[in-house]
Amino acid sequence: MIEKLKKIVDGVEADFSDIRYEVRKDTRVVFRGRDLSETGANSTDGFVVRVLKNGGFGFSAVTKFEDIATAVTRATDAAETMAGAGASPVKLERYPVMEDSITPNLNEDPLNISAQEKVEIVEKYNRMLLNEPEIASTTLVYSEVNRDRYYVNSEGAKIDERLITTNISGAVIARRGSLTQDMRVSVGGSDGFSRVRGREDVFLKRARIARELLDAEPVRGGKYRVVMSPLLAGVFTHEAFGHFSEADIIEKNPSLRSKMELGAKLGSSAVTIIADSTLPNQLGFYRYDDEGVAVKPVTLMEKGILTGRLHSRRTAAAFGEDVTGHCIAEDFRYAPIVRMGTIFIGAGTKSFEELLKDLDDGLYLIDGKGGQTAGENFTFGAQYGYIVENGQIGPMIRDINIMGNLFSTLKNIVAVSDKVELSERGGCGKGQTNIRSNLGGPHVLVEDMVVGGVS
């Protein structure tokens, strides 16, 4: 395939062109309540062409091989339209020509596990959840996505890499009368099928929390001091801060770009933030991005000072900074954009118990439940939480959403704990879904957080 793609790229009249072909294999097993509602394995494929000509950069994605010539024409037209419209000329940061072929290091290759065994393992967890008291229903999905990526460009790069992601996730729903409470659950990763085996404790814990939420009180709205759990802190790190570290987000927004100057003191000295997709056995792991650049670790913030950001070859040239290998596409339907892989706040020195003591009176909020940002403002849900009085964990609370401003919140982080935990499921939706977005951190103590509530 690589040689076939090379021939196409060689025929493109442009300053630079590349083509990516992908075969995506999806396996899904879906249980809704006691019903098995879907099983199957399928394969889809397609091509993405990018053309740089006269300073314009155009993209086109097609599914049929016979449409590649159309894709080249459309991408070239788009590049010429951009150049003609007076858009800022695009340059690509120089990068060594790489030739490589990567297969993942897996603990049990999911493609070697039978369809029957995949159904059985989901059914086992599902049955276990439904046998718990007051659990009215479930949604459990086994999702396996295998991407075989083949990349060539006009400079001579030839790279293929296989990425496989395995996950069992969904929700457990507790019901008492007309009141329902749901709790998300997820196990999985990018290092093999063994990740989803023997995880009964995780599923049972989520069922217990869903049941306990039936007795929890809705949180009272107001301003609080808050301890965020590692995964909620990870949502903050990814959503509120991380997206501003993606160069393409701030590139055409002068006000944000000026705030995100490298060297700016944006956070308290407790905050160090790292993007590292080279961490082995983590969901966010990969070797090459979707324009053939090897990913490298980037310290985005060190002790509150902005020290780095994430780039594609285009944005690295536009910012005059180094390439980082973060130009990623969901699959063959999309041109790549700048994305985070693994991102987290670095560990501090205090234990969780010491952090609670420092909190004194406030809220302990646990696990993310959807988040959204608009510029520097963010809103995140927490799956559940507890009122903390005198450093002691008290009654459970529910219906929790926090809102804040990125820059004031970074300054309001008082302390972080000494253990980092990373998520097992991704799903960032920056126009395309990145199932390998991997986030986390330690426990994080923040002051002056707005929490919404009905009372």
Partner 1 sequence: MERLLEIAAAVSDQAEVYFVETDETNIEIRNSELNEITSDIQSGFSLRIIKDGAMGISYTKNLNDRDELVRNAVESLEGGKRVAFDFPGPSGIAGFDQFDPAISDTRPGDLYDRNSELVRFLNERITGQVDVRATTVEKTVIIKNSNGLDVSQKRSTYEVGSEMLFPNTEAGVSILHGSIGPTGIPEKNIERAISLYTAGLPEVDVSTGKMVVVFLPETVFSLIWRIEDASSGRVFHQKIGPLLDREGDKIFSDKVTVINDPHDTNIINARWFDDEGMPTQKLELIKNGVFNGPYLDLDFAEKLGRTPTGNGFRAAVWGGDEITLTPSPGLAHLTILPGGTGFDDIVRNIDKGILVLGVLGPHSGNILNGDFSMGLNPGLYVEHGKILGRTRDAMISGNIYDVMQNVIMIENEKGFSGSCYYPSVAIADVAVTGRG
Enter the tokens of residue 354.
């010491």
Shortest Cβ 419–partner 1 spacing (Å): 26
55 binds partner 1 (CB under 8 A): no
311 binds partner 1 (CB under 8 A): no
455 binds partner 1 (CB under 8 A): yes
Q: Could you give the angle at the alpha carbon of 156 between the alpha carbons of 152 and 160, nearest 5°?
A: 35
Site for partner 1 in 341-370 (CB under 8 A): 369-370
Binding residue for partner 1 (CB under 8 A) from 162, 197, 199, 333?
333
Applying CB under 8 A, the site for partner 1 has a residue count of: 90
Site for partner 1 in 255-274 (CB under 8 A): 255-256
379 binds partner 1 (CB under 8 A): yes
Shortest Cβ 10–partner 1 spacing (Å): 22
Binding residue for partner 1 (CB under 8 A) from 1, 11, 37, 176?
37
54 binds partner 1 (CB under 8 A): no
Residue 405 to residues 46, 372, 402, Cα–Cα distance (Å): 40, 12, 10
**What secondary structure does DSSP assign to 189-210, as a single string?**
ESS-GGGGSS-HHHHHHHHHHH
Which range binds partner 1 by CB under 8 A, 85-93, 162-170, 194-202, 436-444? 85-93
Site for partner 1 in 17-36 (CB under 8 A): 26, 32-33, 35-36
Which range binds partner 1 by CB under 8 A, 184-192, 318-326, 341-349, 371-379? 371-379
User: Could you tell me if 163 and 330 are in contact, meaning their C-beta atoms sit under 8 angstroms apart?
Assistant: no
78 binds partner 1 (CB under 8 A): yes
Q: What is the CA radius of gyration of the chain?
A: 23
Specify whether the backbone of 134 is left (phi greater than 0), alpha (psi in -120 to 50) or beta.
Answer: left
Binding residue for partner 1 (CB under 8 A) from 20, 74, 149, 313?
74
Binding residue for partner 1 (CB under 8 A) from 2, 41, 111, 264?
41
Draw the binding track, 136-155, toward partner 1 (x: CB under 8 A; -: no contact).
xx------------------
User: Could you tell me if 104 and 280 are in contact, meaning their C-beta atoms sit under 8 angstroms apart?
Assistant: no
247 binds partner 1 (CB under 8 A): no
Which range binds partner 1 by CB under 8 A, 61-69, 152-160, 279-287, 410-418? 61-69
**What secondary structure does DSSP assign to 81-108, as a single string?**
HHHHTTPPPP--------EEEE----SS
User: Could you tell me if 226 and 362 are in contact, meaning their C-beta atoms sit under 8 angstroms apart?
Assistant: yes
Burial of 13 (0-12, 13-18, 19+ CB in 10 A): exposed
**C-alpha span between 130 and 62 (Å, rounded):** 43
Shortest Cβ 263–partner 1 spacing (Å): 20
Shortest Cβ 349–partner 1 spacing (Å): 30
Q: What is the CA 340 to chain-centroid distance, rounded?
A: 7
| Residue number with CB closer to partner 1 (194 or 379) | 379
Site for partner 1 in 94-113 (CB under 8 A): none
User: Could you tell me if 109 and 164 are in contact, meaning their C-beta atoms sit under 8 angstroms apart?
Assistant: yes
**C-alpha span between 167 and 142 (Å, rounded):** 6
- Separate counts of helices (H) and strands (E) for the chain: 11, 25
| Residue number with CB closer to partner 1 (280 or 431) | 431
| Residue number with CB closer to partner 1 (61 or 363) | 61
**C-alpha span between 91 and 57 (Å, rounded):** 9
124 binds partner 1 (CB under 8 A): no
CB neighbour list of residue 10: distance below 8 Å, 6 or more residues apart: 154
81 binds partner 1 (CB under 8 A): yes
Site for partner 1 in 177-206 (CB under 8 A): 178-182
Site for partner 1 in 427-446 (CB under 8 A): 429, 433
Paired sense of beta strands 158-176 and 99-102, if any = parallel
Which range binds partner 1 by CB under 8 A, 12-20, 99-107, 161-169, 392-400? 392-400
Shortest Cβ 176–partner 1 spacing (Å): 11
